[in-house]
A and B are shown apart, each in its own frame.
Chain A
């Protein structure tokens, strides 16, 4: 087994991992990136559609273009990259981290480092997570796997396609499948509203007259060797009669039913996970419950824009630099999700400097107000033109805000920040 040492090792060479690595390297740390695939860039490489980078680069890039920018950002930095390498285990030993990986090129490698950055991204929920009855034929793919087959491997997954879930990946694959000559017979969404953004509903479904069945789910899968069709039924309240069920013949089923942070090896290392995000619980400097192990990007919580993941990863990289140079995190407040908020990341507020938070709404609507309360007293209020669960919200809160610092000098007991979303009652409603 080979042994090697770095200040920090990043697991994952996608947008987050590369941004965190570049940040740490610029700050003078010796950094390695370990990537399972043969090339850097992560899932961006298969997302050939455009719409990436509007926040980071002020232009609309495709996924591979965004990836190439991230990779080019490493030019001139001495980040050591290990591609084709799978990490199997992380251990903590007397204040240092040990990480084991193997690859065809390098064999087994043990990394000794002071900090690990988790940036492994997320994975797709699959048929097993849905529990749909029926046979187990071939022809059932997650939307992202189908995307990889089409865009990287150049294969056509099928000709007559049904898509379950109206998440953005599913919608984009509806267009992509149509453009490679397949027919998409419908998108089935269990909720009464689409899960993906409006632009994708318009440009990926309406453009091709692909029916979207809201409040519907698939109730059975048919087919012996290859899938031959699915039953679709409207979702009714308990006791209601489920009439209006119908059958769609198809040879391909794509599932776009949600993403889950990929935390197998984190869990083994004892990293505590958050019940809502599925990612690690992190403090204000993106450190997990294990000292020296940090997390950012989709492994922390699923982002809808890569731009946010990159931004978060840079903050994480900065925090690791502070940690490496022995700067203490200082006192931190807990941050909790209040009314209409699914979660807030990170889960701690540092009493120095600017804190940036990311949150997800549980409601849809115009004219919402973001409210942050400290011990019941409002310290921040902001109007949001429009909120919906699929669009992440971010906001900054500085530790030197009067309302926060005065709270401390008066010695309040409650030291939790609570973030909530409120929609004012409409007059006459």
Chain B
């Protein structure tokens, strides 16, 4: 299988062609530097993304608490993560860095608050 990607490791944005599905036999071409090869492999094998969203909070000051994953998660998990987050309703105080969800879907990924909302 062949995939055309744009490398995002730096602003140049090399057009990559990634071929093969076997992790040992993947070939990346079109990259101008080694970072392109790493990006191409990861993107072809297990694309993952940081997710940032908001969660409802019962506060007079703010309607939503911003949150983020503590590391990139597999793209396929994003819809179910968002559904879980949108079903939450928190109560202040919440501090920046607080864990909102621990070990999402047994992946070890944590969801952290990215803003402090005092009681």
Which residue numbers of A lie inside 8 Å of B, CB to CB? 38-39, 45, 48-50, 60-65, 67-68, 150-154, 179, 197-199, 201-203, 206-207, 366, 385-386, 388, 391
B8 in the interface, Cβ–Cβ < 8 Å?
Answer: yes
B35 in the interface, Cβ–Cβ < 8 Å?
Answer: no
Contact A68 B63, beta carbon cutoff 8 Å: no
Which residue numbers of B lie inside 8 Å of A, CB to CB? 5-8, 10-13, 49-54, 56, 61-64, 66, 68, 75, 78, 82, 96, 114-116
3 A-B pairs closest in CB distance: A154-B63, A198-B13, A64-B115
Partner of B8, one of A38, A39, A63, A199: A199
CB distance from A204 to the nearest CB of B (A): 10
Contact B96 A48, beta carbon cutoff 8 Å: no
Contact A50 B62, beta carbon cutoff 8 Å: no
Chain B residues near A199 (CB-CB < 8 A):
8
Contact B8 A151, beta carbon cutoff 8 Å: no
CA distance A202 to B116 in the complex (A): 31
Contact A65 B114, beta carbon cutoff 8 Å: yes
Partner of A198, one of B6, B64, B75: B6
CB distance from B28 to the nearest CB of A (A): 16
Q: Name 5 A/B residue pairs within 8 A (Cβ), A-sorted.
A: A153-B63, A154-B63, A199-B8, A201-B6, A391-B11
Partner of B116, one of A68, A366, A388: A68
Chain A residues near B56 (CB-CB < 8 A):
154
CA distance A60 to B114 in the complex (A): 12
CB distance from A177 to the nearest CB of B (A): 12
Contact B50 A50, beta carbon cutoff 8 Å: yes
Contact B64 A202, beta carbon cutoff 8 Å: no
Contact B114 A64, beta carbon cutoff 8 Å: yes
Chain A residues near B82 (CB-CB < 8 A):
179
| B86 and chain A: residue at smallest CB distance | A180
Contact A62 B6, beta carbon cutoff 8 Å: no
CB distance from A104 to the nearest CB of B (A): 15
Contact B8 A50, beta carbon cutoff 8 Å: no
| 17 other A-B residue contacts (CB within 8 Å) besides A64-B114, A202-B6 | A38-B61, A39-B61, A48-B52, A50-B50, A50-B52, A61-B114, A62-B68, A64-B66, A150-B54, A152-B64, A179-B53, A197-B11, A198-B6, A198-B7, A203-B8, A385-B10, A388-B11
CB distance from A253 to the nearest CB of B (A): 23
Partner of A386, one of B7, B12, B52, B66: B12
Contact A203 B49, beta carbon cutoff 8 Å: yes
Contact B115 A68, beta carbon cutoff 8 Å: yes
Partner of B75, one of A197, A202, A207: A207
Contact B10 A386, beta carbon cutoff 8 Å: yes
CB distance from A164 to the nearest CB of B (A): 22
| A172 and chain B: residue at smallest CB distance | B52
| B54 and chain A: residue at smallest CB distance | A151
Contact B12 A385, beta carbon cutoff 8 Å: yes
Provided the pairs A50-B50, A152-B63 are in contact, do residues A386 and B11 lie with their beta carbons within 8 angstroms? yes
User: Of B61, B63, B66, which is in contact with the most chain A CB atoms at under 10 Å from its CB?
Assistant: B66
Contact A152 B62, beta carbon cutoff 8 Å: yes
CB distance from B46 to the nearest CB of A (A): 14
Contact B114 A62, beta carbon cutoff 8 Å: yes
User: Of A50, A65, A150, A197, which is in contact with the most chain B CB atoms at under 10 Å from its CB?
Assistant: A65
